[in-house]
Amino acid sequence: MLPFIDDILKYDSLSIVGLEKNTGKTECLKYVLNRLPVDSRRIAVTSIGIDGETVDQVTRTQKPEITLPQGMYFATSEAHYKLRRLVSELVDVSDENTSLGRVVTARALTTGKVLLSGPPSAAGLKRWMGQMRRLGVDLTVVDGALSRMSSASPAVSRSMILATGAAFSPNVDTLVSKTAFVVQLINLPLAGENLRAAFDTLDRGTWWLDDEGALHRLSTTTSLAPSIKLDEMKGCRAIFVAGALVDSFVEKLQAGKVARDIEIVVRDFTKIFITPQRLRLLLKAGARLTVLQKSKLLAVTVNPTSPGGFTLDSAAVCHRLAETIGLPVYDLLKAS
């Protein structure tokens, strides 16, 4: 058994996140669920997207089914709950509606297969995780998503495993550099306690704090706006972008010399859509980039085969990536 399984048990929540479809996220979820001690811990699982289908609905490639052991809690949509192939005890039916019906939480009374499609929003996911804690669940496992189509961020979990592979890039150098950049974003520091208190309840717009701690809303509604009134931001010491942080916004801050010695805060790493070059320039200018919530990255997994059948040298990719990011990297099919 790989050491990150023991690391998972140090936290109360885990997200498993793929950088692209077919990077082995579902295989990683399957590996983890098969090795967690359900006999001694209460464990619950759900998915931000749809997981457990035998064929990927986008790429039409085969996918591993999700088998849950007896005793495990799970959350899925009403439509998928009806398709379960196990005996279960109903625990809760939420008020939150999804495109597939309300989210149903149940406990598996027998081992069997399920389709997972849980809370689609960050708020819904947080509520479900809180409910699981109140039920005495020790660990919640979330099949995460980095897609812009998902409003539920995997960073709500306290720990994370990242899945990458040939489907993300068939070129080893590109795969390593792109994955390392995502790891850098995941590992961005938390904003200070004062900034977290000031920005945490803001769910839209762009805001800034002056030297005296007063909060102001930038007249620009989002960071995607074509122009920014930088003259509004005299004495700015911190900026909070509730939506996406993009290159054009950072470039405007730098051009107006606002980005020197200030802190730019985002909700979590999934809100960052700037290039590695722009981040380097930003940090070089003396700015700091921080987040309101983050997860502890425990490991990275690699699927060396792409949906088209192209296969990378697994050992070489794992070695190169581990050296670059300073974390364990595994090919789970070889480790199984």
Q: Which of 9-23, 247-261, 293-307 has the lowest mean pLDDT?
A: 247-261
- pLDDT score of 225 more than 90: no
Distance (Å, rounded) from C-alpha 258 to C-alpha 297?
A: 32
| Kind and range of the H or E run holding 316 | helix 314-325
> pLDDT tens across 44-79, in order?
999 986 654 444 444 443 444 799 999 999 999 999
- pLDDT score of 191 more than 70: yes
- pLDDT score of 190 more than 90: yes
> Cβ–Cβ contacts within 10 Å for residue 100, how many?
16
| Kind and range of the H or E run holding 100 | none
**Mean pLDDT confidence for 266-284:** 94
Q: Which of 10-19, 33-42, 153-162 has the lowest mean pLDDT?
A: 153-162
Label residue 181 by pLDDT band (50, 70, 90).
Answer: very high
**Mean pLDDT confidence for 184-188:** 96
Q: Tell me which residue of 199, 201, 219 sits closest to 209, measured CA to CA.
A: 199
> Distances from the Cα of 208 to the Cαs of 64, 99, 115, 257, in angstroms?
46, 36, 43, 15
pLDDT score, position 58: 44
pLDDT score, position 221: 57
Distance (Å, rounded) from C-alpha 57 to C-alpha 223?
A: 33
Q: Which of 6-10, 134-138, 306-310 has the lowest mean pLDDT?
A: 306-310
**Mean pLDDT confidence for 282-286:** 91
Label residue 193 by pLDDT band (50, 70, 90).
Answer: very high
**Strand-pair partners of 162:** 17, 300
Distance (Å, rounded) from C-alpha 7 to C-alpha 181?
A: 23
pLDDT score, position 50: 64
Please tell me the number of Cα atoms within 13 Å of 244 on its side-chain side: 13
Percentage, residues of the chain above pLDDT 70: 90
94 CB-near residues (< 8 Å, 6+ apart): 102, 103, 104, 105, 119, 124, 127, 128
**Mean pLDDT confidence for 78-93:** 95
49 φ/ψ angles, rounded to the nearest 5 degrees: -100, -145
pLDDT score, position 56: 46
Q: Tell me which residue of 106, 102, 117, 131 sits closest to 47, measured CA to CA.
A: 117
- Is the torsion defined by CA of 104, 105, 111, 116 positive or negative? positive
Distance (Å, rounded) from C-alpha 219 to C-alpha 232?
A: 8
- pLDDT score of 41 more than 90: yes
- pLDDT score of 154 more than 60: yes
**Mean pLDDT confidence for 312-324:** 96
- pLDDT score of 117 more than 70: yes
pTM, two decimal places: 0.89
pLDDT score, position 246: 94
**Mean pLDDT confidence for 243-263:** 86
Label residue 220 by pLDDT band (50, 70, 90).
Answer: low
- pLDDT score of 245 more than 90: yes
Q: Which of 54-63, 177-186, 197-206, 297-306 has the lowest mean pLDDT?
A: 54-63
Distance (Å, rounded) from C-alpha 120 to C-alpha 98?
A: 7
**What structural domains does the chain harbor?**
4-187+295-335 (3.40.50), 193-291 (3.40.140)
**Mean pLDDT confidence for 111-120:** 92
**Mean pLDDT confidence for 216-231:** 69
